[in-house]
Amino acid sequence: MATAAVEVIGVVGGGQMGSGIAQLAAVAGFDVWLHDTEPSALQRAQKSIVDSIRHLVSKGQISQFAGTSSLNRLRYTSNLEDLRTSDVIIEAIVESEAVKKKLFLELDKIVKESTILASNTSSISITRLASSTSRPSKVVGMHFMNPPPIMKLVEIVRGADTSDEVFMTIKTLAERLGKTVICSQDFPGFIVNRILMPMINEAFYALYTGVATKEDIDTGMKLGTNHPMGPLQLADFIGLDVCLSILKVLYEGLGDSKYSPCPLLVQYVDAGRLGRKHGTGVYNYQNKTPAGHPLSAL
């Protein structure tokens, strides 16, 4: 089956996911535009990418020439119009269906007719996102795990109208980025979060009902099931607000009470205890060195 040629990749969202995806694409040899509406976010993203690539060079994982070439392939912009020549645009913004639909509607009017619009959403319906565009056959889910430069998996999600050619183009692109691909149909939570979030939610229920301390819950899952990080630590790494959002999508989309968010998780989010990114969640991360990267989804 023929696949479309991809040379220029646009990434929307300068946070940890977007900057990681942009870095991956640049190191793999693509010209990359990284967009964020906030110049300060772009500055942080650029510093993060430069530091990360310098680290790869210092460790001998890529050559100095490859590192410099990768940085030269990256461009940063707050003007969405600059993404108009992209062959693929990967959206990595806030996990909100309304906000993503608004972005896709804007992109649909700007980019080439052939451009593929991919979403890094961890749970939102690709079919519904595609419905906001005039190109539903060219909309697809491309869900990277967090952090994108390290985690080996990409979950591709086909909407109701995603074409075979678009699926194969994105699969080929993910493999060029060095990823292993799994494919999910467009059901709430897809594969990874459909399984992961109920585990995290149950860990919160165990803490909420006094089954054990947070430390014992996490240690039990790490040493008892060989997980690299306990579920409560993992929730902090993902972001408790993101976990809550995904659980709401699962609960509303599947109508099963087993996905109902634990009241303790809701309370933490209401209190602004969103996890590592905010310095406190289930655990306190202020003035602490972050732990190693878990097998996680975001």
Catalytic amino acids? 122, 143, 155, 193
- Flag whether 258 is marked binding: no
Q: What is the largest CA-CA distance in the chain?
A: 56
- Flag whether 142 is marked binding: no
The amino acid sitting at 261 is P
- Flag whether 106 is marked binding: no
- Flag whether 14 is marked binding: yes
**Locus of tokens 């005039």:** 134
- Flag whether 79 is marked binding: no
- Flag whether 222 is marked binding: no
- Flag whether 146 is marked binding: yes
Which of 70, 104, 81, 82 shows the shortest CA–CA distance to 33? 82
H helices of the chain, in order, are: 16-27, 39-58, 64-72, 97-110, 126-130, 164-176, 192-208, 214-225, 231-238, 240-254, 263-270
Quote the DSSP letter at residue 184. E
Q: Which residues are bridge partners to 297 per DSSP?
A: 145
- Flag whether 277 is marked binding: yes
- Flag whether 270 is marked binding: no
- Flag whether 100 is marked binding: yes
- Flag whether 96 is marked binding: no
With vertex at residue 171, the alpha carbon angle to CA 107 and CA 89, rounded to the nearest 5 degrees, is: 15
DSSP strand pairing (153-158 vs 116-119)? unpaired
Q: What does the buried/exposed string (b/e) look like for 61-80 if buried means 16 or more CB atoms within 10 Å of the residue's CB?
A: ebeeeebeebbebbebeeeb
- Flag whether 13 is marked binding: yes
Which of 292, 289, 282, 291 shows the shortest CA–CA distance to 243? 282
- Flag whether 15 is marked binding: yes
Binding residues for NAD(+): 13-18, 36, 95, 100, 122, 146, 277
Binding residues: 13-18, 36, 52, 59, 95, 100, 122, 146, 277
Binding residues for CoA: 52, 59, 122
